[in-house]
Amino acid sequence: MIARQVRRLRERHERDDAGFTLVEMLIAMLLFSILIAIVGTAVAGASKASSSNRQYNDINAEARTALNRMTRELRQAQAIVAATNPYGSSATSYNAAQPTSLTFDVDFNGDGVIQPDNADPEELTYTYNPSAQRLTLTAAGQSTPVLASNVTAFKLSFFSRVYRLGAYGLDTNSDGIISWEELDADPSGKYGNGNHVLDPLELNYIDSVTIDVTVLKGSHQQTYQTQVDLRNRPY
């Protein structure tokens, strides 16, 4: 009797030392796979967030550089010489598929004479080419990219803040500022010629420009806007 109990205890001990069963192994493998998946998802999420942050920082840096430069130079402008494809409310005034440009004179050396071919050129042209998605600066016959291959939209809006113009009924929407289209629509023909084109007649009274730039980097897109009032605009 005693020998039989001893034999049973020995057999139970041998079974206990036999290792993991197949079911136990499968459960362990499943738990391990779940743990690996959780860790992998967390790492992938962190990597994606890091990449998105880099794209956002790159966009901010590029747009800030371009807008700061344009703002600094345009604020000193004495005259806006020409503008193509300006933004406006009518279908004939803005075409997103066409280039947009702005040319202005700046007397950087203060001698009272605009010298386009100076070492520091005093006539500048900013041009946006939508097909190339590129914003360039042209001065003294040389063009350089300001933002290259990542500008998806660029708009220029033109306004006049000459207070006396309001007395002529040009501020048709009573918002306190006069758009170039309101100048163009002047029935008297004194401030605009009604041809739906921003030309020298209306540019004589433009002293404020709003710039909208949309920049794309990877999957991240951001639009920036700034308003520039011309400080040296003579009337």
% of the chain surpassing 70 pLDDT? 81
Helix runs in the chain, H state only: 2-16, 22-75, 180-184, 200-203
CA–CA dist 193, 181 (Å, integer): 10
128: which DSSP letter? E
Q: pLDDT higher for 5 or 218?
A: 218
What predicted TM-score, i.e. pTM, was given to this entire model? 0.74
Cβ-count burial 85-100 (b if 16+ within 10 Å, e if not): bbbbeeeebbeeeeeb
CA–CA dist 202, 186 (Å, integer): 10
Read off the pLDDT of each residue in 190-200 and give the average, rounded to a whole number: 90
**37 closest CA partner among 48, 27, 45, 25:** 45
pLDDT at residue 17, rounded to an integer: 52
Q: What distance lies between CA 150 and its chain's CA centroid?
A: 9
pLDDT at residue 20, rounded to an integer: 63
Both structure tokens of 113: 């004479």
pLDDT at residue 93, rounded to an integer: 79
pLDDT at residue 171, rounded to an integer: 78
**225 closest CA partner among 131, 143, 153, 122:** 153
Over residues 118-176, the pLDDT tens digits come to 888 999 999 999 999 999 999 999 998 887 678 889 999 999 987 666 666 787 777 77
Model confidence at 206, pLDDT cuts 50, 70, 90, reads: very high
Q: pLDDT higher for 31 or 99?
A: 99
CA–CA dist 144, 164 (Å, integer): 39
pLDDT at residue 28, rounded to an integer: 78
Q: pLDDT higher for 210 or 51?
A: 210
CA–CA dist 197, 175 (Å, integer): 22
Both structure tokens of 1: 């009797």
The end-to-end CA distance of the chain, in Å, is: 123
24 three-state secondary structure: helix
The angle at the Cα of 214, spanning 210 to 216, to the nearest 5 degrees, equals 165
Report the phi/psi class of residue 18: left, alpha or beta, with left for phi > 0 and alpha for psi in -120 to 50: alpha
pLDDT at residue 54, rounded to an integer: 72
The mean of the pLDDT values for the chain is 82
pLDDT at residue 212, rounded to an integer: 93
Over residues 43-82, the pLDDT tens digits come to 766 666 566 677 667 777 777 888 888 999 999 999 999 9
Lowest-pLDDT range, 26-35, 76-85, 190-199? 26-35
